[in-house]
Every structure is written in C-alpha cells, then in structure tokens.
Amino acid sequence: MASRLNPYISFAGDARQAMEFYQGVFGGSLRLNTFGESGYPGPEGADQIMHAMLETPGGYTLMASDTPPGMTYDPGTNIAVSLSGDDEDELRGYWEKLTAGGTVSVPLEKQMWGDVFGACADRFGIQWMVNISDA
C-alpha cells in the first residue's frame, strides 16, 4: 500500500453524524468502529466512534474519531481540510454542500493568484478551503 496523506478529525461525540454528513457530500464507502466494538472497558463512550474512515470515488480519504472519555476536546481550531483541483463543477458541488448550515469566511470567488478560492466552516465547526485551479 502506498503512503497516504489525509486529514484526521476529532469530534466530541458526534463523529458518526459528521462522517455520515461527509459521506453525503463526497459519496463513497464509510467504515465505522466504536470504542465498545474495540474492547474499550466500561459503558461510558462505548457507542462513540473510535475510528471512522471514508474512502470516496474521487480518491479522497477522511478519517475521524470521537475524543475518548477523559481526554480534552478542542473543536475545529487545529485542522483545516483543503480540496483543490481543476474540476470546477465537482468542487463547486462540494462547496455548496459544505457551506449548508455552515459559515463562509472567504466567499468562493476569483483571487489575486488567479484561482477561484473559498474558505468556510461546516456545521460541525471544521474549517475547509476549496481552490479551483485555472485550467
């Protein structure tokens, strides 16, 4: 297997809902494993996600987990996910879905470097950057 670079996102108990949302945005196959399935001791957090992996038809991979009980959660401030390429229709489609219920910090529009770029936080507080290259 080749090396892979992808984001890994931590959530505070809503990893399942977030990953199902991202599956709705990007499509693909979603695998979810709970702490309980993995032998985590005790009932606290047993139904939360220990590891999730979404592999999409476009070749993207997102991984995530819920923050284990007793660990500190820092929501969305230490990660940004970048989507870039030259397929304008595909990237605009992702942008529309990601911004639904979220907050746009930079509108998706032509920038001084010539590409179309936008930045937003989705409804789960995750920061996204979308860059559409000038083909």
Taking CA atoms, 71 is separated from 10, 27, 76, 82, 94, in Å, by 11, 31, 15, 27, 32
Question: Would you state the pLDDT for residue 8?
Answer: 87
C-beta separation of 100 from 52 below 8 A: no
What mean pLDDT, rounded, does the chain reach?
88
Question: Would you state the pLDDT for residue 22?
Answer: 97
pLDDT at 33 over 80: yes
Tokens 């284990």 label which residue? 68
Q: Could you tell me the pTM of the whole model?
A: 0.77
Rounded to whole angstroms, the Cα distance separating 81 from 52 reads: 16
Mind listing the domains of the chain with CATH numbers? Answer: 8-66 (3.10.180.10), 80-132 (3.10.180.10)
C-beta separation of 50 from 65 below 8 A: yes
Residue 2's pLDDT band, with cuts at 50, 70 and 90, is low
Which ranges in 4-128 belong to alpha helices (H)? 15-26, 88-99
Question: Would you state the pLDDT for residue 3?
Answer: 64
Of 74 and 82, the one with more pLDDT = 82
Give the helix, strand, coil percentages of the chain, each rounded to 5. Answer: 20, 35, 45
Question: Would you state the pLDDT for residue 78?
Answer: 56
Average pLDDT over residues 27-45: 86
Taking only the tens place, the pLDDT of each residue in 107-134 is: 999 988 889 999 999 999 888 989 999 8
